[in-house]
A and B are shown apart, each in its own frame.
Chain A
Amino acid sequence: MYRWGMVIDLDKCTGCQACVVACRQENNISFAGDKEAKLGRAKLWMNLMSEVKGSHPNVEMNFLPLPCMHCDKPPCTKVCPVEATYKSPEGIVAQVYPRCIGVRMCISNCPYTVRYFNWHEPAWPQEYKKGLNPDVYSRKKGVTEKCNFCIQRIRKAKWNARKEKRRVREGEVIPACVETCPSEALYFGDLNDPKSRVSRLSKSRRAFRLMEELGTEPKVFYLKEGEWDEG
């Protein structure tokens, strides 16, 4: 059994937001528009958080790419009254759009605030519609959506591997954000394979997870920035 996980090296992240754009492109994330975005209705399965520290001339900026943490003990799945969200055997916290009735309790119980709701019918600019990814399930207004580690790519890789009667190889499947990162700050792979890159990096001394004290056991690991080690 695979156990998909991600490692994000904060030392390498330049804050270019390529991951954010790639994610939107891959997963057909609809456009919210300026007005809606101000109400916090922009959907960003992969979001880039930034923090400015200090004042001129000693300014420091930190970045934090924030996808779904794919918790091993997800607080969001257990509160759903209709089982529209669940943790797959491979550890992916997935959303079943046709089942979702839009209660939004999963959103309010997610401590990482990485679940997004379709407040209106999803919309794209006309010229953009031709570029929509046909492999991705479409969403309607009134349902919740979220990062799923590009589950469509994982599925494809697994089919190919099954045809050849082998396991999915290291690097054979990566989500759009990982694929696009120009500074190669993102890694993706099978945490169950002790030789995989993510599994080794996740045990590194620099590795940490967000809000580990909550006991959610995320499968997204961060690697500390150099400066953070001193402080």
Chain B
Amino acid sequence: MRDNEAIAQRHHKILSPLTKTGWPFWITTGLLSIVFLWSFFAFGWQYVWGLGETGMGHPVSWAFYLVNFVFFIGISHAGTLISAILRITHAGWRTPITRAAEVVTVFALAAGPTNILFDLGRPIRFHWVAIHAQFKSPLLWDFTCIMTYFITCVLFLYVLMIPDIALLRERFPRRRWFYNPLSLGWIGSERQERILKKASAFLCIAVIPVAVSVHTVVSWVFGMQTQPMWHSTIFGPYFVAGAIYSGIAAIILVAAILRRVYHLEDYLQPVHFNNLGILLLTMTLLWFYFTFAEYLTTLYGGGVDELAVFWTKLTGRYSPLFWLMVLFCFVIPFPILALRRTRTILGTTIASVSILIGMWLERFLIIIPTLSQPRLPYARGSYMPSWVEWSMLAGLSAGFMLAIILFSKFFPIISIWEMEKEEKERDEKVT
């Protein structure tokens, strides 16, 4: 390892958030904490009075929490997956964004399944899913896949951070008690480097099938049920594509905010946003293709029950949301991302925000209209989320942001050792 002092000097912009804390930080975290804590009150309220405090009923018995579950798992999808794919393909431009992407994955993955806890009638018995496990239920496939993915992603993030933690250990003697055990005695010896290389190569390969399986299985929670417009073989790939789509958007948004707040302009350059923008453009087209295929097949097939759901979405009660989804997921982002002139940092950020809203709506439109139009024409109901459900979404989002902010205060949000390695390789090439 090269001289720590020199490295720290060169990358002082990455390390400065760890030492300097201004009033914007305290205001932001303060506000987010209030929202976060409020959601605890909301959950307590729901716990005491029952799930009836939500807007759910009969037949719409799954709603907001499931939407948020799928949404957050979707966000978790791009980070580690993109990071792994870019590593395997040796895409040089990836280095400054991989760490942030992996962090987004880990925290979104922590936020997603929490929604299932909120959704349970008896959340205190959540562990029974493990104790009385029934593998015939798609929910258990979900549980298994998400747990595997979560552990893999935490390992992925951690293993590739060990050299940086070792640097921090040397750099901040007062925080040694914290960094020292985490650094696992890293001194940058050749043997350690070899092990790290092997471990990261293994994790890169391992995480890809796990990631694909997770969102496939999330889709199967719906796809395996015989309800109209859920029971579809396209759901696996449709959900995976949608997940990567919203995931990349989340990474762009987080990268843009970090760049602005922590002054990382030298690291996160327009070229990164351009490249991520092109990836996002591909996913925009893929999302459109899947959505179009799904809806056309339903319409042409002409099943009575399916069409009832289809028309509620396109022209019925949920049509405003449907056309907003088309607007946010395709009409707005597509031209912005397609034109080189608008594929700037600001452009990709606007497209990302639009996509995140649109993809949340997409999940809402997959879950609720189907439940509101069951096969038998008797039970009919609409759904309107209550204050409890809105509070939980706000609290969960606040908790997610809070986690990223706190992470960035204790660990470098850009991988320093990989930047160094890259520079070294570049220097060697020149000489």
Give me the interface of A with B, judged by CB distance under 8 Å. Answer: 36, 39-42, 47, 49, 64, 66, 75, 78-83, 99-105, 107-109, 111-113, 116-121, 140-144, 210-211, 214
Contact = CB atoms under 8 A, between A and B. Distances in A.
A101 B226 contact: no
Given A39-B381, A75-B226, A105 B137 contact: yes
B50 A83 contact: no
Which of B55, B57, B59, B60 has the most chain A CB atoms closer than 10 A to its own CB? B57
A66 B378 CA distance: 10
Interface residues of B, number: 41
B376 A210 contact: yes
A103 B138 CA distance: 12
Interface stretch (B121-129, B155-163, B314-322): B121-129
Interface string B223-245: 01111000000000000000000
A105 B119 CA distance: 11
B128 A119 contact: no
A117 to B, nearest CB: 6
A83 B226 contact: no
B62 A111 contact: no
Contacts, number: 135
Given A39-B381, A80-B137, A81-B129, A111 B227 contact: yes
Interface in B111-138: 119-122, 125-126, 128-129, 132-134, 136-138
Contacts of A103: 119-121, 139
Nearest to A112: B376
B52 interface: yes
B120 A79 contact: no
B120 A111 contact: no
Nearest to B59: A113
A101 B56 contact: no
B61 A211 contact: no
A111 B221 CA distance: 16
B116 to A, nearest CB: 8
Interface string B355-385: 0000000000000000100111011010000
Which of B61, B143, B227, B378 has the most chain A CB atoms closer than 10 A to its own CB? B61
A39 B221 CA distance: 25
A107 B376 contact: no
Contact of A143 (B61, B122, B134): B122
Nearest to A142: B121
B353 to A, nearest CB: 31
A81 B57 contact: no
Nearest to A143: B121
